[in-house]
Amino acid sequence: MVLGLGMASCWGISMYYHDPASAQYGLAIPGILTLTIALILSVATRTKSPIDLSRRDGFGIVTFGWLFAALFGAAPFVWSGIIPNPIGAVFETMSGFTTTGASVMWGLDQAPKGLLLWRALTHFFGGMGVLVLCVAILPFLGVGGMQIFRAEMPGPSKDRLTPRIANTAKLLWGIYVALCLVEIVLLKIGGMSGFDAVCHSFATVATGGFSTRDASLGFYNSVYIEVVVTVFMFLAGINFSLHYRALRGNLQAFWKDSEFLVYLIIWALACTVMTLNLWHHTAPTLPSAIRAAFFTGTSVMTTTGFATADFDLWPAFSKLVLIVLMFVGGCAGSTSGGLKIIRIHILLKIALREIRLFLQPQAIVQVKVGKKPVEAGIVSGIAGFFVIYLLTFVAASALMCLFMPDLISAFTSVAATLGNIGPGLASVGPMLNYSQIPDAGLIVLTLCMLLGRLELYTALVILLPHFWKK
């Protein structure tokens, strides 16, 4: 129903901007159809008492929710003729809802406004879904160590889970919308058109990366805009529970959160070494190196994927740092993707523990985050998640090798979709896009985006016969 209303609003915008008739029909008809189906389903499945969700319901709702959103959401692109290939359209929409930002569209600057807004709205809705998924659902499904956040859900604590999830979602969405609004105002002040400011804000706070310009944010060539977007990308990469606590007056929450501190350290370190590398090689001045490295570093680490520079032309060292950041990602409980800082943190602790045990074989060394020891089950869950993530990466890369001209294109197309970043390197670099990839390759990458967004297990579990039994 939300999607149908979204399409209908975009139809309104489309009429306001006098888009071509194909675009207006392309939004109107799928919008009306989506709304009709939603109303029928809603009436048909109405119950009086609230329903308690089982784990299995959770998996199903989450995975099929994203899948159907991408299928329905793709209709306007196909219907309007903007992306005539349905597989390309589903890729684009999945990229939107998973807040990836990988695109098969060219000619954005001239594209109908209604469809550009719909594209940005897929990010906006996707980001809302991710928040409720990461903070309210995954910890209770026990996905890859995310149980660690079970106690940290903001909002009034209740006994029954369903109302608590609804409450948490509303709180986080409030923060999310507020961040969007503030960024819209700041971008407007910087001289961006209202329409572009809305679309780019949606893409920033959802850490998506769709732009309304073929040259992405490089189009504006404005330091002010880049600083604003960098700040909001950075904020969107932080656990939204921390924003909630900060808004309730507990500003110390940031400095007491070890995941945030690790995020800050990796971010500052990566951007600084890239600055030095760029200054030494390609950038004419230190300020221009700082500007390029911090914007791109933040964009890739938070898995947003906006571009102001063709980082595919950067020296190998900076490219390697960007690839590492693609795997690292932002904080858990944010809209970002990748492995997430909390997992990286615990993986590093696992390595450290082994070195300490090696020196003192008789010692009892616990993995701790902050000062709290982490349950052994969570630690091994994260190690298992890491292995499965790498296996998925290797398997999908092997498939992409069949469709891509070279290894770097194959590797980074998978890293950039599995981590929900958007642009990769070489033939999927920031100045190119995914339009030259054959359909079979687009299907692989569409699944990578879904798998990455749903933290692998949630989507993988649907494939197991066990899920369908009982």
Query: Judged by CB under 8 A, how many residues of this single chain contact a copy of itself?
Result: 53
Query: Binding to a copy of itself by residue 364, rule CB under 8 A?
Result: no
Query: Binding to a copy of itself by residue 464, rule CB under 8 A?
Result: yes
- Cα-based angle 289, 295, 299 (whole degrees, multiple of 5): 140
Contact 343, 386 (CB under 8 A): yes
The token pair at 10 is: 């975009």
Query: How many Å apart are CA 204 and CA 78, to the nearest integer?
Result: 25
Scanning 22-30, 79-87, 102-110, 375-383 for contacts with a copy of itself by CB under 8 A, the matching segment is 375-383
DSSP letter at 368 equals E
Q: Of the candidates 287, 315, 370, 373, which one interacts with a copy of itself according to CB under 8 A? A: 315
For 431, the 3-state DSSP assignment is: coil
Query: Binding to a copy of itself by residue 470, rule CB under 8 A?
Result: no
Question: How far are the Cα atoms of 93, 95, 127, 187, 248 from residue 176, in angstroms, in the given order?
Answer: 21, 19, 8, 17, 15
Query: Binding to a copy of itself by residue 320, rule CB under 8 A?
Result: yes
Query: Binding to a copy of itself by residue 221, rule CB under 8 A?
Result: no
Q: Which residues contact 468 (CB under 8 A, 6 or more apart)?
A: none
Query: How many Å apart are CA 406 and CA 426, to the nearest integer?
Result: 8
Q: If you search the block for the tokens 């630690």, which residue do you land on?
A: 379
Query: Binding to a copy of itself by residue 319, rule CB under 8 A?
Result: yes
Query: Binding to a copy of itself by residue 43, rule CB under 8 A?
Result: no
Residues from 77 through 116 that contact a copy of itself (CB under 8 A): none
Smallest separation, CB 209 to a copy of itself (Å): 22
Query: How many Å apart are CA 197 and CA 96, to the nearest integer?
Result: 17
Q: Of the candidates 94, 410, 437, 444, which one interacts with a copy of itself according to CB under 8 A? A: 410
Convert residues 130-169 into a mask of x (bound to a copy of itself by CB under 8 A) and - (unbound): ------------xxx-------------------------
Q: Of the candidates 348, 372, 373, 468, which one interacts with a copy of itself according to CB under 8 A? A: 348
Query: Binding to a copy of itself by residue 12, rule CB under 8 A?
Result: no
Query: Binding to a copy of itself by residue 448, rule CB under 8 A?
Result: no
The token pair at 313 is: 């032309």
- Cα-based angle 210, 215, 219 (whole degrees, multiple of 5): 105
Contact 155, 353 (CB under 8 A): no
Nearest partner of 201 among 178, 220, 221, judged by Cα: 178
Q: Which residues bind a copy of itself (CB under 8 A)?
A: 55, 142-144, 315-317, 319-321, 323-324, 347-348, 350-351, 353-355, 357-359, 361, 376-377, 379-381, 383-388, 391, 394, 397-398, 401-402, 404-408, 410, 425, 457, 460-461, 464, 466-467
